[in-house]
A and B are shown apart, each in its own frame.
Chain A
Amino acid sequence: MHALGPAGSDAGPGTQASLDAAPPGTKTVLGAAEIRRALTRIAHEILERTDGAADVMLLGIPTRGVPLAHRLADRLSQAEHGLVPAGSLDITMYRDDLRLRPARTLGHTDVPPAGIDGRVVVLVDDVLYSGRTVRAALDALVDLGRPRAVQLAVLVDRGHRELPIRADYVGKNLPTSQREVVRVLLEETDGQDAVLLGDDGGGA
């Protein structure tokens, strides 16, 4: 939920109360079935690109990257009959915009006991936008160890990069204007699966 929209749209779960499929002023870009298919495709791409995901570890970026990482890990484990570890990586303390807002509540970092040294770490986030979240995640990762390689999987790439960063696995490329807001809803955090696109009218 980090690189999500213009300033102000990075709202916590508490403000995401509205559960209508598509609230007024927004439209559903991906439904539950499409999200499921996109994750299955990403899982297969990871298997192809990493020779069966032997050394892979998935780290989700809170909030919504974490359930996505676990869903991908389940698919990888089913496909290869081996357990693919998944965890979470909080990047709050590494953000470059900490001084622009009140101190943020920290998310949870949970690195599987195997550690990241020598592994192929796939970072998982819901939306790729400016790329600043991923920059912070790379810094956070360096402090945890030395992965063999780092890759990036996102459910939605909405463009407007501000840093030289790209995703290795993309669920859907979604051309947007910077005024628009992309909201990802997930069963685990919001009670339903959907990707919504809306205007930044009155704050999403």
Chain B
Amino acid sequence: MNRHLISAADLSRDDALLILDTAEELAQMADRPIRKLPTLRGRTVVNLFYEDSTRTRISFEAAAKRLSADVINFSAKGSSVAKGESLKDTALTLEAMGADAVVIRHGASGAPHRLAGWVRGSVVNAGDGAHEHPTQALLDAFTMRRRLGRLEGLRVAIVGDVLHSRVARSNVRLLRTLGAEVMLVAPPTLLPVAVGGWPCEVSYDLDAALPKADVVMMLRVQQERMNAAYFPTVREYSRRYGLDSRRMALLPEHAIIMHPGPMNRGVEIAADVADSVRSTIVEQVSNGVSVRMAVLYLLLGGSEAQR
């Protein structure tokens, strides 16, 4: 494994499988009376969040605490960042406090990469702009493997706002590494210009894509990043690209429905679909803790020399 986890592309097939297998062992812990391991005692993990987040931040915090690491939460609101402190100065402050790992979420693509050059500890990307969100891709792959038993040869449809989605980017890369076939389904305005170079298929027609999908992953319509008109109305988007119960019936019997959250119920996914037994949305959250524990353990659990 590398010292940092910045992009899903940094992971070889063996690395990714090691993380998933480790997470599988750690997932057992959820059933135990004492959900804590002493492994990272005395290590410090800083959660550095420049963008709002509930599940990712809480998930990383729970993961670090279950491994007995000390956790420092830092959010840009209410800190010196509001007074204009630069990322580099913040990084040097963290460095001086002896952070062994920095989990960073930032609105700018590439911020974790820059940070990795400034601190001695491991950097874990928890989402940077529209670039990558590797631990989300890992927990998605973990969820698919748990539900469907394999990843090799799985057909995964990723539907919706691909343009603004770091989840889609990381998933395309990771799933490719793990041998799954990915199809992106979106209106042309919500696909990146360079999507032709990605290792996946592209379609504009959701109804045609559903019958051959083993997994359908709905993406959130990221209205906070939309400063231009990408579709005429929310209603029209929902009619063409939303997953409702009629469309759910087009899926094969075994197919599962995923969403990275937070959901816009009634926009990209209908409420009854989100709450159906095929939906893994709640599972994804608990799997997230196991996968992030695995990542923190593999990055921080060994010797300093190796890192």
* Chain A residues with a Cβ under 8 A of chain B: 90, 93-94, 98-109, 139, 142-145
Contacts and interface: CB of A to CB of B under 8 A. Distances in A.
Nearest to A98: B301
13 contacts: A94-B38, A98-B301, A98-B302, A100-B303, A102-B302, A103-B301, A105-B22, A106-B22, A106-B25, A142-B34, A143-B32, A143-B34, A144-B33
Nearest to B293: A93
A99 B302 contact: yes
Nearest to A146: B33
A144 B303 contact: no
A105 B297 CA distance: 10
Q: Size range of the interface on B?
A: 20 to 34
Most chain A CB inside 10 Å of its own CB: which residue of B21, B38, B299: B38
B38 A139 contact: yes
Contacts of A145: 33
Interface of A is mostly: loop
Contacts of B298: 103
Contact of A99 (B21, B36, B304): B304
Nearest to B18: A105
A42 B39 CA distance: 33
A58 B39 CA distance: 25
Contacts of B33: 143-145
Interface of B: 1, 18, 21-22, 25-26, 28, 32-34, 36-39, 67, 297-304, 306
Contact of A93 (B21, B38, B304): B38
Given A103-B297, A105-B18, A98 B32 contact: no
B28 A101 contact: no
Contacts of B25: 90, 106-109
A174 to B, nearest CB: 31
Most chain B CB inside 10 Å of its own CB: which residue of A93, A99, A101, A102: A93
A93 B302 contact: no
Given A93-B38, A93-B39, A109 B28 contact: yes
Contact of B37 (A94, A99, A100, A102): A94
A101 to B, nearest CB: 6
Contacts of A144: 32-34
Given A93-B39, A103-B1, A106-B21, 7 more contacts: A98-B39, A98-B301, A104-B301, A104-B302, A108-B25, A142-B34, A144-B32
A101 B303 contact: yes
Given A90-B25, A109-B25, A103 B36 contact: no
Contacts of A106: 21-22, 25-26
Contacts of B28: 109
A126 B25 CA distance: 22
Contacts of A101: 302-303, 306
Given A109-B25, A144-B32, A102 B306 contact: yes
A100 to B, nearest CB: 6
A100 B67 CA distance: 18
Most chain B CB inside 10 Å of its own CB: which residue of A90, A98, A105, A145: A98
B303 A102 contact: yes
A101 B303 CA distance: 5
